[in-house]
Amino acid sequence: MPLPIDMGYVTDILYRLLTTPSPTGYTTDVVRLCCAELERMGIHYELTRRGAIRADLKGVRASPDRALVAHVDTLGAQVKMLKDNGRMELVPIGHWSSRFAEGARCTVLTDRGPWRGTILPLKASGHTFNKEVDTQPVNWQQVELRVDAPCRNRAELEAHGFNIGDIVAIDPQPEFLENGFIVSRHLDDKAGVAVMLGAAKAVVDAGAALPVDCHLLFTISEEVGSGASSILHQDVAEMVTIDNGTTAPGQNSSEYGVTIAMADSTGPFDMALTHSLLTLCKAQNIPHQRDVFRYYRCDSASAIEAGNDIRTALVCFGIDASHGYERIHANALESLVRLLVLYLQSPPRD
């Protein structure tokens, strides 16, 4: 049955998630934030050895249990080399273009504490390089990190505590507009985490009885491909991943309603589970569309590749400019929370 949705909570927790840096490899702070929310709701959870979260919403039956999964880690960068000019060479964390890194403000997370900086192309000064600024190649070898510290050479970088391997968190620059649009980096997949927490809050606040146990999984390494590989209980029968759908030419995703993925680069999702979600959308008049993603994988893939015998599906909020300056609409988040609340209350498939 439909339950009241607290969209004020969903947007508030999304803002707090976005403003908590969490590139893959540096997720402790955002994990603490999610754990605090689970504790506040009275939801039992445990941490895996690697630091992912496995939380439990108890149902009338313990099995065959189901799971929802979203990832708290984001794209970022890492220091590859301390350069003789006092700047730093970077490599990306996750797969994203240096085109979207150029001009980004960021924080370098050193052993001694954080430093602010800017990612710039090698030829950044229009007054010096003129048209060469526009003709230089676009790749990670053509950008460098200018740190806001008096560093003119490698020795001064070392003296300030910078090291090869330091993680770089990119500023999200979130904007929540009155017309419902939300613009920020890292909406993939912090919007998915906010949706999952919003669905859990709706269930807890209403005291709804679930027919079967459901695990809320918060993974920490999806952007590098291994997210859900080691987080599942062995008796989980089915898992629904919450992630972004790409609103771009040639795609059917939308920034409104729910986008239900039929397949991604790893192949089709489970047809029975996927169609049960489509049926819930139709029965409750939740706006939705289907899509197929050619260059895309998610936590479903890592779970199956790790040998888990589970059915998987993928539900999405439509996102414009994925892995860049992303944009979504609150309508999609609300639609997703509505769908997940219905799914959690639906009869299990043995």
Which pLDDT band holds residue 350 (cuts at 50, 70, 90)? Answer: low
pLDDT (tens digit per residue) in 326-347: 999 999 999 999 999 999 999 9
Tell me the C-alpha to C-alpha distance, in Å, between residue 106 and each of 49, 160, 212, 247, 346: 29, 17, 43, 27, 43
Tell me the C-alpha to C-alpha distance, in Å, between residue 135 and each of 118, 122, 143, 163: 21, 12, 14, 31
The per-residue pLDDT for 1 is 85
Tell me the C-alpha to C-alpha distance, in Å, between residue 274 and each of 130, 280, 312: 53, 10, 8
Q: What domains does the chain contain, in order, with CATH numbers?
A: 7-74+186-345 (3.40.630.10), 80-170 (2.40.30.40)
pLDDT (tens digit per residue) in 264-313: 999 999 999 999 999 999 999 999 999 999 999 999 999 999 999 999 99
The per-residue pLDDT for 349 is 78
Q: Is 89 a catalytic residue?
A: no
Distance CA 284, CA 211 (A): 19
Please tell me which residue in 222, 238, 255, 334 is annotated as part of the active site: 222
| E strands in the chain | 44-47, 53-57, 59-71, 76-82, 88-93, 105-110, 113-121, 143-147, 167-170, 175-176, 181-184, 210-219, 236-246, 258-264, 267-268, 288-292, 311-319, 326-329
Written as one string, the DSSP assignment of 236-258 is EEEEEEEEEEE-STT----SSSE
Residue 132 has pLDDT above 80, yes or no: yes
**Token duo for residue 280:** 């819930």
Q: Give the SS3 label for residue 129.
A: helix
Q: Give the SS3 label for residue 3.
A: coil
